[in-house]
Structure 1
Amino acid sequence: MFVFKGWTRSVGISALTLALWMVSTGGALAAPTVKFAAPPWPGVTVKTAMAQRILEAAGYDTHVTNASWTIALQGVARGDIDADLGIWMPTQKSTVEPMVKSGKIDLLVKNVPDAQYDLVVPDYVWNAGVHSIADLNKYADKFDHRIYGIEAGNDGNQVMIDAIKNDTYNLGDWTLRPSSTAVMLTAAGRKIDDKEWIVFLGWKPHWMNIKYDLKYLKDPKQIWGGGSVVYTAVNPTFEKKNPNVIRFLKQMVVSSDIQSDWVYDYGYKHESADEVVDRWIKNNMDMVAQWLDGVKTADGSGPALAAVKKELGG
């Protein structure tokens, strides 16, 4: 009997404490927090900000960790991070596939199903007859036997380093010049302005596809692994416990052209991610509605779309 009374008293104290806490906080439970990771790439930066803005309007808290893509993915595998919207396949396959097979991460959806990562040339080089990687060595002198790459250690660089080492496409006496993405694009822009020949690593989504008229070279030997896609990776435990957020993330799919527009405004015109996100959401509520089909607010009180429209307009 004594135990029963003590239990009753504990429940009463707990109920009183909860009641006082709810009064002090306006009666609302703390909003769930969705934790994202994003490597320092403009496309992923804006896309992640887009997801954050929509979820926050729906009542969630969000947090983003900026880190290299390998560290970000490791965070997802550990459960420190819930989702990463920037997994490029097949270029990151060697790292990603073992994590998927071991159950440490899930690849939820192809959020950019028509991405591309290959060698590119300006349109005037294409018009001169360079349509394939196999055509490069015919015009080696015009290219100075050089391919322009990005940061050392990047998977795309390695594809071409291996091709040179193995004399694939007769590129054995070529060199790859690694640099930062910004330096590579500056060099490309200068040569394009002067109508000089250049071949470099290109990808979409990216503003380079809007600023310049580029052609992606055919790859008959498929050293680049075929067509590229960008995945959303999630932690499996988070996926099971948060079906509402997962429904949104699974439906948040864009074309490379749309994301290239985001990257152009953010990465080339240097608008803030918030400016790009808020304007796009307001002007594209029809697509946001597709992303939020069947998704509720964080407290489950109503459709998330209504909350987003109320806060962001459109």
Structure 2
Amino acid sequence: MKLRTTGLLLCLASAPLLAAEPESCRSVRFADVGWTDIAATTGLASVVLQGLGYTPTKTIASEPIVFAGLKSKQLDAYLGYWDPSQTPAITPYIQAKALQVLPTPNLDGAKYTLAVPSYAADKGLRTFADIARFRKELDGKIYGIEAGSQGNAQIKKMIDNNELGLGGFKLIESSEAGMLVEATKAFRQKRMVVFLAWEPHPMNFMMKLTYLSGGDKQFGPNYGGSKVYTVVANDFQQRCPNAGKLVGNLKYTLDMENHVMAPIMQKIDPKIAARQWLQRNPQVLEQWLDGVTTYDGKPGLSAVKAYLAQQ
């Protein structure tokens, strides 16, 4: 009996590990609202998932479509819920328990509000209340990002309600890239310009800018001081516990995101930028892969390190 039991144990030990999750979990479906910081964080997560044997995908869409996609479970995870700027848009979904916001932010210390070139601040444009005084120099324009964003909504609300004398100003909606083109052009020409800005983002070291004070009502205190949270479809972490564990483990820093975003701004593929950063900074994997295996149930950390070592 002992020999038979020993033989059975040896057979079990030599048997291949079973898949940790069903085949439906192999494709992890991320949402991205088209911001470079979300491209960076999603790129980092995607590279790690590839190293674990998953096939992550990304859908770029506006905030309303992202939250609706998580509600309908057509999307699995979104790494870019900025609180408080996106809170008005996501609150109805939270109240309806239509999706799940993970309790711990994946990034702390972020900010999101209006900014100007520092030379504009030197001329007296330092607060939200100063904007109206420079209407002529600003050509009556405030540059936002993509239509449907909560940042744009706050600007439009100020204009529509004539808050701080901004009635008659025009909100210029385009995209993150479009806004940055206009801001950069104004910097080169030393023109006055007001635009939505945030950190983390390479703009903070590419341009000498000043965040405007006095926007607590619109964007929150501390220059729109923000925390960024991960949002998942209601059943994602139960249906795909291993991938869900990784997504829940992901924590970023301002410095990390700034450095991954910089090459993305130069048109480098986000996953290539993320892979290069991870190759230089593999120490973050210890925390991210704590309790995480490969898709087929093998040790996760060694698998991802081996994947990153490949050329």
TM superposition score category, shorter chain reference: 0.7 to 0.9
Which sections of structure 1, spanning at least 5 residues, go unmatched?
1-25
- Structure 2 residue 124 is matched with structure 1 residue 129: yes
The within-5 A match list for 1:244-263 is 244-263=242-261
Deviates more, 1:195-204 or 1:152-161: 152-161
Match of 1:243 in 2: 241
- Tell me how far 1:266 sits from its aligned partner: 0.8
| One of 32, 48, 52 as aligned partner of 2:46 | 52
Whether 2:170 is the aligned partner of 1:175: answer yes
Q: CA deviation at 1:291?
A: 1.6
- Number of the residue aligned with 1:89: 83
The Cα shift of 1:125 comes to 1.6
Would you say the 8 A contact 2:110–2:254 is kept in 1?
A: yes
2:303 aligned residue: 307
Cα drift, residue 131 of structure 1: 2.4
SS state of the match for residue 65, structure 1? strand
Structure 1 residue 274 corresponds to structure 2 residue 271? yes
Identify the residue that residue 295 of structure 2 maps to in structure 1: 298
* 1:160-187 residue CA offsets vs partner (Å, 9 max, x unmatched): 2211222222223433233343333222
Compute the displacement of 1:300 (Å). 3.0
SS in 2 for 1:36: strand
Residue 214 (1) aligns with residue 218 (2)? no
TM-score by length of 2: 0.82
2:132 and 2:166 in contact (8 A); partners too:
yes
User: Is the 2:186–2:193 contact (alpha carbons within 8 Å) kept by the matching residues of 1?
Assistant: yes
Relative distance call for 1:220 and 1:187 in structure 2 (3 A) is closer
Matched-pair contact (CA < 8 Å) for 2:17–2:296: no
Contact 2:83 2:229 in 1 (8 A): yes
1:148 Cα offset (Å): 2.0
Q: Which residue of 2 aligns with 1:100?
A: 94
d(CA) in 1 for partners of 2:181, 2:194: 13
Q: List 4+ stretches of structure 1 deviating above 4 A.
A: 26-31
Tell which deviates more after alignment, 53-62 or 177-186. Answer: 177-186
Contact 1:105 1:235 in 2 (8 A): yes
- Identical aligned pairs, as a percentage? 32
**Deviation per residue, 1:32-64 (Å, 9 max, x gap):** 422222233332223212212112212333333
Alignment partners' CA distance in 1, 2:288 and 2:42:
14
| Equivalent residue, structure 1, for 2:55 | 61
Q: Judging changes above 3 Å, is the alpha-carbon distance between structure 1 residues 197 and 65 closer, same or farther for their aligned structure 2 residues?
A: closer
Closer, same or farther in 2 for the Cα pair 1:275/1:119, shift >3 Å?
Answer: same
Amino acid paired to 1:277: A
The structure whose RCO (Cα within 8 Å, separation 6+) is larger is 2
Partner of 1:117: 112
Aligned residue in 2 for 1:72:
66
Offset at residue 220 of structure 1 (A):
4.8
Q: Residues of 1 paired with 2:157 and 2:303: CA distance?
A: 51
Task: Provide, for residues 3-33 of structure 1, a one-character-per-residue CA deviation record: whole Å limited to 9, x for no partner.
Answer: xxxxxxxxxxxxxxxxxxxxxxx99657542
Task: Tell me if the contact between 1:143 and 1:199 (Cα under 8 Å) persists in the aligned partners.
Answer: yes
C-alpha separation between the residues in 2 aligned to 1:128 and 1:145? 17
**1:231-270 deviation per Cα after TM superposition (whole angstroms, max 9, x unaligned):** 2111121122333333322221112332232222112x11
Assess, with a 3 A threshold, how the Cα gap between structure 1 residues 163 and 179 changes in structure 2: closer, same or farther.
same
1:197 aligned residue: 192
* SS of equivalent to 1:119: strand
Which structure 2 segments of 5+ residues have no match? 1-15
The offset of 1:277, in angstroms, is 1.6
User: Out of 181, 184, 187, which is 2:179 matched to?
Assistant: 184
Letter in 2 for 1:247: K
**Secondary structure in 2 matching 1:182:** helix
Q: Does the 8 Å CA contact 2:200/2:258 hold for their aligned counterparts?
A: yes
